[in-house]
């Protein structure tokens, strides 16, 4: 096998993280760290029933408690003028209106905020909130997806609704070799280190400034402007740093609106920082999803039919959908494919996108089933995938804008030492541990949206680039600086300043869906290119490769030379299917007596076009791999369905991998540019870093033990039973 991919342009080491020193020294200011004069603190009192109505609520003791300025409930909360419209302009992945706090006496899920205390300290607000007592009229609740599967129905709207069928999917039943299995992904909760934060400060009757944890300052600005019927420019949203989000800050949640509402009422800045407990049911989660994959192949391993069904939970008031089954339509060259996607409404808060949304869940089922099929056929799982490689998109017949999946399989197999893998499970041991190798494929759409970027050459030699995008920690500032520095080769990296995270800057989309490097990077590329041209026009024909920008601007008496450019993807893209791919390889050790799984080695290979920023790209892949290991082995939001309440809504009981759980992770890149997507040739990688990883771990566990675990997480009890 080939050792290294050929790649153009050359794979450089790339620049260091531009905000790295600020982050490790504590100079980076996160949203909860802003302090304003006269600032107050909000804390929620929450419902301890799951479904019903509040018949009375006693807030007197809370109101009398020291330092309390106000207690908001459905009985006294001022109207939010734009709430009637019921729309959420942050483009949530849902149909139906978002939940609104304090508009009526209904309780829709356990832990729903029923009152908000504003006090002069966080401690006093917390104490006062504990004094609030509510009486309820309790109704029968349902929170168990498994039990309510039969009630599931196709979503009424949204882009993931509708069954899909090509050919005769039932052909799998007549195949020489068949797999028909069910898979379960439980609730996963985003659990970034940074809690959700909103700090609202009305600077005039019709003007509000907000520091928030959000993945999109423009979307938060729009949501607040709409809720309070303000001109958009009267809402200022700032988010300079985000301590991880994974999707839970993609939309505007009701506690954010409530904070802005409270600040208006008390006429002082109000800061709300959710508790870890509230992170579990106030800002979304990956929904519990049951899946069934039925597939058949000829004796020589050619797929003849696949049916992929999924049923997931949603809330009683909003339809959340995601693309759980969608990858099955185009992932393999199979003539007959059917997909069915259903949701079941429960008395829970609405789920939301979580890293690799839909596909991460779907890939666990599809890539586990492919492993099961390879096992039954007695062929190598990579070989099975190569025999069913889709050269063109089987869903729509279009060519792929780029696809280097075969090369990714090779690179990863070489690196992990796939040749050591035994076809027969449970036959390899090291020092008394069972050893297994597994792999799984990930895929996610690679698009480019619209963004506006301002680029300016200043007469102090700085290249200033501005756009409103937030960086949720992935290294957007670094990647954008890298792109600019490759156009303005004469400007040292430390003289390039990329400003972000401010709604008054030119509009960028919300950071999510693996599109920002492509979308904002494309606009940075275009703005810098146009600025360079403008400079060339200024100096006429006398230009050199390394012009003295400061000297020229001073001579021309210009304090700065600037352009503002809006750009988006080309219409040519309509003729292509465009995806990023990943292949994850895992070596596990399983202890035969205790069932403990240790991940011993990980190699993740990304086919995500030209790698713009190698250091931050490596971090993205490593972070996603860790998330995928957590999903495979540990993560599970556990509800006691008798009470409709989480029992592990804290960092001690909701397990995520820590350093000791994680081995050396190799991030490899095919690094072949796809110039159809954007001028850098880059495709996204945030989602594919995780998608397919949980299947790779499950497949490795099977290879080690001969036990197939189809319900995540793979905890020792499941291996021992
Ligand atoms: Mo991601 S789930 O698009 O933050």
Residue 8 pLDDT more than 90? no
Distance 328 CA to ligand 1 centre (A): 20
Residues with Cβ within 8 Å of residue 546, at least 6 apart in sequence: 489, 490
Among residues 262, 282, 302, the one where a domain terminates is 282
- Average pLDDT for residues 50-55, to the nearest whole number? 98
pLDDT the model gives residue 93: 72
Evaluate: CB of 357 within 6 angstroms of ligand 1: yes
**Pairing status of strand 68-72 against strand 113-119:** antiparallel
Q: What average pLDDT score do residues 72-79 get? A: 95
Alpha helices (H) along 378-473: 381-387, 405-416
Closest ligand 1 atom to 514 CA? 3
Q: What is the CATH number of the domain that holds 105?
A: 3.90.1170.50
The string over 420-457, giving b where at least 16 C-beta atoms fall within 10 Å of a residue's C-beta and e elsewhere, is ebeeebbebeeeebbbbbbbbbbbbbbbbbebbbbbbb
- Mean pLDDT check: name the lowest of 9-18, 252-261, 695-704, 707-716: 9-18
Residue 503, domain member (yes or no): yes
- Contacting residues for 121 by C-beta, under 8 A, at least 6 apart: 41, 67
| pLDDT score for 4 | 41
Domain boundary residue, one of 524, 546, 568: 568
In this structure, the answer to whether residues 255 and 351 fall within a common structural domain is no
pLDDT at 92: 72
Q: Do residues 99 and 201 share a domain?
A: yes
24-36: average pLDDT: 97
- Cβ atoms of 321 and 159 closer than 8 Å: yes
DSSP state of 256: H
pLDDT at residue 63 is higher than 80: yes
Q: Can you give the pLDDT at residue 336? A: 98
pLDDT for res 1: 37
pLDDT tens track for 323-353: 999 999 999 999 999 999 999 999 999 999 9
Pocket test of ligand 1: the residue of 624, 686, 689 to mutate, having most ligand atoms within 8 Å of its CB, is 686
The verdict on 556 and 496 lying in the same domain is yes
Task: Give 149 Cα–ligand 1 centroid separation in angstroms.
Answer: 26
Same domain, 341 and 261: no
Helix axes 516-539, 476-487, angle to 10 degrees: 30
Tokens of 129: 């909130």
The reply to whether 405 and 506 lie within a common domain is no
pLDDT tens digits, one per residue of 508-555: 999 999 999 999 999 999 999 999 999 999 998 766 668 999 999 999
513 lines ligand 1 (CB under 6 A): yes
Query: Pocket of ligand 1, candidates 192, 196, 243, 247: which has the most ligand atoms within 8 Å of its Cβ, to mutate?
Result: 247
**Ligand 1 centroid vs 500 CA: distance in angstroms?**
18
**Does residue 713 share a domain with residue 661?**
yes
**Which atom of ligand 1 is the closest one to the Cα of 355?**
2
Examine the domain organization and report whether 373 and 512 are in the same domain: no
Q: Nearest to residue 616, comparing CAs of 482, 512, 707?
A: 482
Residues 388 and 303 in one domain: yes
- Residue 246 Cβ contacting ligand 1 at under 6 Å: yes
163 within some domain: yes
523, 516 contact by CB (below 8 A)? no
Helix (H, G, I), strand (E, B) or coil at 519: helix
Query: How long a stretch of residues is the chain?
Result: 721
Q: What percent of the chain has pLDDT over 90?
A: 93
Residue 284 Cβ < 6 Å to ligand 1 = no
Q: What is the pLDDT of residue 13?
A: 80
CA distance 161 to 208: 38
Range of the structural domain that residue 484 is part of? 448-568
Confirm whether 374 is domain-assigned: yes
What percent of the chain shows pLDDT beyond 70?
A: 97
d(CA 242, CA 131): 33
The confidence score (pLDDT) of residue 11 equals: 55
Quote the CA–CA distance of 7 and 674 in Å, as a whole number: 11
Residue 161 has a pLDDT of 84
Report pTM: 0.96
For residue 673, is it within any domain?
yes
Q: Over range 11-17, report the average pLDDT.
A: 82
> What is the pLDDT at residue 159?
78
Residue 695 parent element (H or E):
helix 693-705
Tell me the CA–centroid distance for residue 478 and ligand 1, in Å.
19
Q: Which candidate in 123, 410, 687, 711 is catalytic?
A: 687
For 143-194, how does the pLDDT look when each residue is reduced to its tens digit (9 = 90+)? 999 999 988 999 987 778 889 999 999 999 999 999 999 999 999 999 999 9
The phi, psi pair for 495, rounded to 5°, reads: -95, 5
Q: Is the CB of 512 under 6 A from ligand 1?
A: yes
Q: What is the C-alpha separation between 76 and 314, in angstroms, rounded?
A: 30
Nearest atom (ligand 1) to Cα of 249: 4
687 a catalytic residue:
yes
Q: Are β-strands 303-315 and 289-297 bridged in parallel, bridged antiparallel, or unpaired?
A: antiparallel
At which residue do the structure tokens 């996108």 appear?
A: 353
Is there a domain that residue 87 lies in? yes
How far is residue 164's CA from residue 181's CA, in Å, rounded to a whole number? 20
Identify the domain boundary among 529, 551, 568: 568
Residue identified by tokens 């592990």 is: 648
Is the predicted pLDDT of residue 10 greater than 70, yes or no? no
For 372, the enclosing helix (H) or strand (E) is helix 359-377
At residue 323's C-alpha, the angle toward residues 227 and 619, to 5°, is: 85
Residue 557 CB neighbour total at 10 angstroms: 7
* Average pLDDT over the chain, rounded to an integer: 95
* pLDDT for the residue 6: 40
- pLDDT of the residue at 171: 97
Q: How many domains does the chain have?
A: 3
341's tokens: 């996607």
What confidence tens digit (pLDDT) does each residue in 89-145 have? 666 777 777 899 999 999 999 999 999 999 999 999 999 999 999 999 999 999 999
Looking at the structure, do residues 120 and 223 belong to the same domain, yes or no?
yes
| CA atoms of 401 and 392, how far apart (whole Å) | 10
pLDDT at residue 87 in the model = 63
Domain identity same for 535 and 606? no
Query: Which atom of ligand 1 is found nearest the CA of 247?
Result: 4
473 burial type by CB count under 10 A (0-12 exposed, 13-18 middle, 19+ buried): buried
Does residue 40 sit in the same domain as residue 176?
A: no
584-619: per-residue pLDDT in tens?
999 999 999 999 999 999 999 999 999 999 999 999
Taking residues 47-53, what's their average pLDDT? Answer: 98
Q: Distance from the CA of 353 to the center of ligand 1, in angstroms?
A: 6
109 alpha carbon to ligand 1 midpoint, in Å?
24
What is residue 542's predicted lDDT score, i.e. its pLDDT?
A: 62
């Amino acid at each position: 096998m080939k050792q290294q991919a050929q790649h153009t342009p050359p794979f450089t080491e790339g620049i260091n993280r531009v905000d790295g020193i600020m982050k490790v020294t504590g100079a980076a200011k996160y949203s909860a760290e802003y302090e304003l004069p006269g600032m107050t603190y909000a804390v929620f009192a929450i419902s301890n029933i799951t479904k019903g109505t509040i018949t009375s609520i006693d807030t007197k003791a809370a109101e009398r408690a020291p330092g309390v300025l106000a207690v908001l409930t459905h009985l006294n909360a001022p109207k939010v003028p734009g709430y009637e419209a019921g729309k959420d302009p942050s483009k949530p992945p849902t149909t139906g209106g978002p939940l609104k706090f304090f508009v009526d006496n209904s309780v829709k899920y356990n832990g729903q905020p029923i009152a908000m205390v504003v006090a002069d300290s966080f401690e006093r607000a917390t104490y006062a909130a504990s004094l609030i007592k509510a009486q309820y009229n309790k109704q029968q609740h349902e929170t168990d997806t498994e039990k309510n599967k039969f009630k599931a129905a196709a979503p009424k709207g949204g882009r993931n609704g509708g069954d899909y069928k090509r050919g005769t999917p039932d052909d799998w039943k007549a195949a020489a070799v068949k797999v028909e299995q069910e898979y379960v992904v439980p609730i996963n909760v985003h659990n970034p280190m940074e809690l959700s934060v909103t700090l609202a400060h009305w600077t005039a009757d019709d003007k509000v400034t907000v520091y928030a944890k959000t993945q999109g300052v423009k979307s938060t600005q729009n949501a607040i402007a709409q809720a309070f019927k303000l001109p958009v420019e009267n809402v200022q949203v700032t988010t300079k740093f985000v301590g991880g989000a994974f999707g839970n800050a993609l939309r505007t949640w009701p506690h954010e609106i409530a904070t802005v509402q409270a600040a208006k009422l008390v006429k002082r800045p109000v800061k709300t920082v959710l508790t870890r407990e509230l992170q579990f049911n106030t800002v979304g989660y990956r929904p519990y999803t049951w899946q069934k994959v039925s597939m058949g192949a000829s004796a020589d391993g050619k797929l003849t039919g696949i049916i992929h069904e999924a049923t997931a939970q949603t809330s009683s008031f909003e339809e959340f959908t995601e693309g759980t089954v969608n990858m099955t339509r185009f992932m393999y060259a199979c003539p007959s494919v059917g997909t069915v996607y259903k949701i079941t409404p429960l008395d829970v808060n609405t789920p939301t996108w979580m890293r690799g949304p839909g596909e991460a869940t779907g890939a666990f089922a599809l890539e586990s089933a492919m492993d099961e099929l390879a096992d039954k056929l007695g062929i190598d799982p990579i070989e099975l995938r190569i025999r069913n490689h889709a050269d063109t998109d089987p869903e729509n017949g279009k060519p792929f804008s780029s696809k280097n999946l075969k090369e990714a399989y090779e690179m990863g197999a070489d690196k992990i030492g796939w040749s050591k893998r035994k076809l027969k499970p449970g036959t390899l041991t090291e020092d008394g541990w069972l050893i297994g190798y597994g792999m799984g494929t990930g895929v996610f759409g690679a698009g480019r949206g619209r963004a506006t970027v301002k680029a300016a050459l200043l007469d102090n030699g700085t290249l200033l680039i501005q756009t409103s995008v937030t960086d949720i920690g992935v290294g957007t500032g670094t990647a954008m600086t890298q792109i600019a520095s490759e156009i303005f080769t004469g400007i040292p990296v430390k003289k390039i300043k990329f400003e972000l995270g401010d709604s008054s800057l030119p509009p960028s989309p919300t950071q999510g869906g693996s599109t920002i490097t492509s979308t904002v990077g494309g606009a940075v590329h275009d703005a810098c290119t146009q600025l360079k041209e403008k400079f060339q026009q200024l100096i006429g024909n006398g230009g050199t490769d390394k012009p003295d920008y400061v000297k020229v601007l001073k001579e021309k008496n210009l304090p700065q030379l600037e352009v503002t450019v809006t750009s988006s993807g080309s219409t040519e893209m309509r003729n292509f299917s465009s995806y990023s791919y990943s292949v994850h390889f895992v070596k596990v050790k399983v202890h035969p007596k205790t069932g403990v799984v240790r991940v011993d080695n990980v190699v993740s290979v990304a086919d995500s076009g030209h790698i713009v920023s190698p250091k931050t790209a490596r971090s993205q892949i490593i972070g996603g791999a860790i998330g995928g290991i957590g999903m495979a082995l540990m993560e599970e939001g556990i509800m006691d369905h008798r009470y409709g309440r989480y029992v592990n809504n804290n960092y001690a009981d909701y397990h995520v991998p820590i350093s000791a759980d994680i081995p050396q992770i190799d991030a490899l890149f095919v690094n072949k540019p796809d110039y159809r997507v954007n001028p850098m040739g880059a495709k996204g990688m945030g989602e594919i870093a995780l998608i397919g990883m949980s299947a790779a771990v499950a497949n490795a566990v099977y290879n080690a033990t001969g036990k197939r675990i189809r319900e995540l997480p793979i905890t020792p009890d499941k291996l021992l039973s």
